[in-house]
Structure 1
Amino acid sequence: MSEDLFKAARSAMERAYAPYSKFPVGAAIRAEDGQIYVGANIENLSFPQGWCAEPTAIGNMIMGGGRRIVEMAVIAEKLSCCPPCGGCRQKIAEFADRHTRVYLCDEAGVQKTLTMDELLPLAFQTDVIG
């Protein structure tokens, strides 16, 4: 089930806009509707204004009508098994549950599978604030 996500994330990584860091990243989400939504990191000369691959994929999912992340793959060109950064973990948690699988990939495929609970054990929970 994760092979198609890996291929989608790798393809997204090839579209990354990373002229400053030279660190392309791709992400692919399978939403509850079965669709795959992708994203890549997009940098900006004003460095804090760029964004990561994961929120790009989340934005595409929302705009495509998806609302829940069932599973996700992340790949970086220069770092094997690159996990989402802290901010992205919380963004993913907004649309996932603690059992959602996140696949960390390298060029050969999925190398590690983690749950959201393993990635972000103390995530803010949306049901707490009503």
Structure 2
Amino acid sequence: MLMVGQLREVSNKANNAELKLFLEVEIGQDLRPVPPPEKTKEDILLFFKLYDPSKEELRYVGRLFVKGSGKPLEILTKLNEMAGFAPDQEIELYEASHLHFEIKFEPNVMCKHIDKRLTFRSSQVLKSTT
């Protein structure tokens, strides 16, 4: 895990003078911030975006802590809720890897289809976090 100071150093090395950090705060029914859940070594924090091909638009829909031994099938209802879909809507999942090329300074995104029946660990969603 990188500390904020280390992020600044990485940003400076990439010739990017600006470092943007975003903070997501969950608000409870009492309108007070809800503390994040306790995290174990088995937990993975995943961020989810929805691609709308008709608009050619990608938007953030939320984040979830999942267990490495868990399967995407187990969270489909929650993902549909986050996206505003019916609970049983058929959806496809992809893992996006952002690649930055130092020569062109243009980010590229590579997407890998995720088998919903495999665990997060066996589908190698964990590979970038370990």
**TM-score, normalised relative to structure 2:** 0.30
Relative contact order higher in (CA < 8 Å, ≥ 6 apart): 1
Of Structure 1 and Structure 2, the greater strand share is in 2
Of Structure 1 and Structure 2, the greater helix share is in 1
Q: Report which of the two structures shows the higher radius of gyration computed on alpha carbons.
A: 2
